[in-house]
C-alpha cells in the first residue's frame, strides 16, 4: 500500500534516511533531525513531500519516497525531483519501489509536471537496471555540481550589497 506520509511517519522516515545513507556509504552525512524533517514535510511552507510504502499484511513501513517540485525554464513547467527512494532490504523485490515510482508518476500527471528526475550513484547497478527497466533515460552528459561548507560561505561573502547574508 502506498500513501501520503503523515507527521506520525517522521521517525520512520528519519530511520530509513539513515539506512539509505548507510547503503550509500555516507551515513555520517545524514544529519537531518526529526524536527527538521517535521518542519520540511509538514511545516507552514513544506519544502518537500513524502510517500510511504506499507506492508498490507503487517502495516509495517517498508519504504518511502521523498520529493519536491522543480521548475524548467526550457519547458516553462514544473517538474518533480525525487530526492530519496528507499525500500528496506527485507521488502525488496515485493513491488514497493515500482509502486512508489508509479504513484509519483501519477502525481506528475495529475499536477501537469512534464519531468520526473532523480540521481542514482554510478555504482548502484541494481538501481540503474531497475530504472532502465521502467524506461528511465540516464543523462550521462550532465554532471551534478554542489557547493557546501566553506566554499558556499566564501562565495556568499562575495555577493553584492543587498544580497549579503
- List, by residue number, the catalytic residues: 131
**Separation CA 126–CA 90 (nearest Å):** 15
Q: CA-to-CA distance for 80 and 117, rounded, in angstroms?
A: 6
For residue 99, give every residue at least 6 positions away whose Cβ sits within 8 Å of its Cβ, in sequence order, or none.
2, 53
Q: 126: which 3 cell numbers?
A: 541494481
| Beta-strand relationship, 115-118 and 77-87 | parallel
Q: Compute how many other C-beta atoms are within 10 angstroms of the C-beta atom of residue 62.
A: 21
Amino acid at each position: 500500500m502506498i500513501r501520503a506520509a503523515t507527521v506520525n511517519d517522521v521517525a520512520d522516515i528519519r530511520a530509513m534516511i539513515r539506512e539509505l545513507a548507510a547503503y550509500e556509504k555516507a551515513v555520517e552525512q545524514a544529519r537531518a533531525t526529526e524536527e527538521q524533517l517535521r518542519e520540511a514535510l509538514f511545516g507552514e511552507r513544506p519544502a518537500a513531500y513524502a510517500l510511504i510504502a506499507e506492508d498490507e499484511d503487517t502495516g509495517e513501513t517498508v519504504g518511502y519516497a521523498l520529493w519536491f517540485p522543480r521548475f524548467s525554464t526550457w519547458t516553462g513547467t514544473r517538474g518533480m525531483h525525487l530526492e530519496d527512494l528507499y525500500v528496506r532490504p527485507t521488502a525488496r523485490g515485493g513491488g514497493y519501489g515500482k509502486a512508489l515510482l508509479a504513484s509519483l508518476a501519477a502525481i506528475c500527471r495529475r499536477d501537469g509536471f512534464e519531468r520526473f528526475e532523480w540521481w542514482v550513484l554510478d555504482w548502484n547497478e541494481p538501481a540503474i537496471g531497475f530504472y532502465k527497466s521502467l524506461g528511465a533515460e540516464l543523462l550521462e552528459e550532465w554532471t551534478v555540481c554542489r557547493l557546501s561548507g566553506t566554499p558556499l560561505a566564501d562565495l556568499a561573502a562575495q555577493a553584492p550589497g543587498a544580497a549579503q547574508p
